[in-house]
Amino acid sequence: MQVAYFTRLRQIELRDEPPPAIAQPDHVLVRIGRLGVCGSDVHYYAEGGIGAQRVEFPATLGHECAGTVMEVGPAAARLKPGDRVAIDPAFTCGACDQCRTGRQNTCRNLRFMGSPGQAPGAAAELAAVPAANCLPVPDAVSLDLAVLAEPLSVGLYAVKLAEMFPAARIAILGSGPIGLSVLLCAKAAAPCTVYVSDLLEPRLELARRCGADYTVNAAETGAVSAILQREPLGLDRVFECSGDPACIDQAAELLAPGGTLMQVGIPPAPRVEFDPHPFRVQELSVRNVRRQKDCVAPVLGMLAEGRMDAAPLVTHHFPLDRIGDAFELVAGYRDGVVKAMVELA
Ligand SMILES: [Zn+2]
Ligand SMILES: [Zn+2]
């Protein structure tokens, strides 16, 4: 089977390898059909890491994936060959203090697909994974949308953690796949007013299609005050989904006293600077969102019921032998790309 490897910065190579074996009784073998290119993958590709987590070349890659079950281990009878599944890429131990208290997203022994030194990446024609991580995909949900269940689950988890209430007024800073996922999930969860900012016009356009009530281009001066003109008392929640440290100060300006900044984006630099005083004086909270937990299956259900339309997020498709082009496109924010999909089967 073909497996994609990062071989050095901005270089992806396909290698031929024997297919993986089902090493544990509760594992299954999945033929990966689609792989989504995620912003975190692109940090590894273009910068060689995220914070202290560095890639050691060569390394496998990718984590947003869906496919078809080919073989099941003896303790994985819940699934059968031919089942279409979305894969939750976070393999947890189930035994540590975090797992035992329902915090499996911060599992002490968590292995994430395609993260340096953790579980093998999903950019391979076949993957052997725990059956517990394979969520059945309803017939009404395409494989593309099943892949999107991963970023959408991060959006749904962020919205749940934010304890949104009816008529909440929120802003989403950054209208990439994660920002748009928060938008779709917020709108599906409760009636709310959503402001979206981004630097790229096509992404703002997409935000409007996905239900944003008002969008601003953050590159223009006065983007924050344009929102505050409409919401003079400030906002209840701000979801930081860009990773741009400047957004932390913007969030402080936008929030009403007592409001909450939901930090979802990944800052590229090891340290960030922001003004702590508005956080102190206005008693603002900061809530970090670490990936997701228990939200992939609910998202698949919401997609099947048509409670949100995530299809517009998929902007590009590439065959496996052009996976490098997919990464270049996403790294360069070119051609209005939001989610690029690699077709493996
Ligand atoms: Zn992702
Ligand atoms: Zn654990």
Average pLDDT score over residue span 65-83: 97
pLDDT (0 to 100) of residue 127:
98
Residue 137 pLDDT > 90: yes
pLDDT (0 to 100) of residue 270:
83
Residue 268 pLDDT > 90: no
> Which ligand lies nearest to the CA atom of residue 292 in the structure?
1
CA distance 291 to 286: 16
pLDDT (0 to 100) of residue 98:
98
How far away, in angstroms, is 50 Cα from ligand 1 center? 13
Confidence grade of residue 309 (pLDDT, cut at 50, 70, 90): very high
Residue 97 DSSP SS3: helix
> Which ligand lies nearest to the CA atom of residue 61 in the structure?
1
pLDDT (0 to 100) of residue 114:
97
Say what the pTM is.
0.97
Confidence grade of residue 196 (pLDDT, cut at 50, 70, 90): very high
pLDDT (0 to 100) of residue 239:
98
How far away, in angstroms, is 113 Cα from ligand 1 center? 10
Confidence grade of residue 217 (pLDDT, cut at 50, 70, 90): very high
Residue 221 pLDDT > 90: no
Confidence grade of residue 257 (pLDDT, cut at 50, 70, 90): very high
Residue 139 pLDDT > 90: yes
pLDDT (0 to 100) of residue 287:
98
State phi, psi for 224 to the nearest 5 degrees: -65, -45
> Which ligand lies nearest to the CA atom of residue 87 in the structure?
1
Which residue has tokens 């590229």? 268
Confidence grade of residue 154 (pLDDT, cut at 50, 70, 90): very high
How far away, in angstroms, is 40 Cα from ligand 1 center? 6
Ligand 1 (ion): residues with CB under 5 Å are 38, 64
Average pLDDT, the chain: 97
pLDDT (0 to 100) of residue 169:
98
CA distance 19 to 127: 8
Secondary structure (DSSP) of 311-330: GGGEEEEEEGGGHHHHHHHH
What the block records as the tokens of 234 is: 């400030």
Task: List Cβ neighbours of 17 (8 Å cut-off, separation of 6 or more).
Answer: 1, 2, 3, 124
- Catalogue all structural domains in the chain, each as residue range(s) with its CATH number: 2-152+292-343 (3.90.180.10), 154-288 (3.40.50.720)
How far away, in angstroms, is 301 Cα from ligand 2 center? 26
How far away, in angstroms, is 110 Cα from ligand 2 center? 6
Confidence grade of residue 81 (pLDDT, cut at 50, 70, 90): very high
Total residue count of the chain as it appears in this document: 345
> Which ligand lies nearest to the CA atom of residue 43 in the structure?
1
165-189, pLDDT tens digit by residue? Answer: 889 999 999 999 999 999 999 999 9
> Which ligand lies nearest to the CA atom of residue 110 in the structure?
2
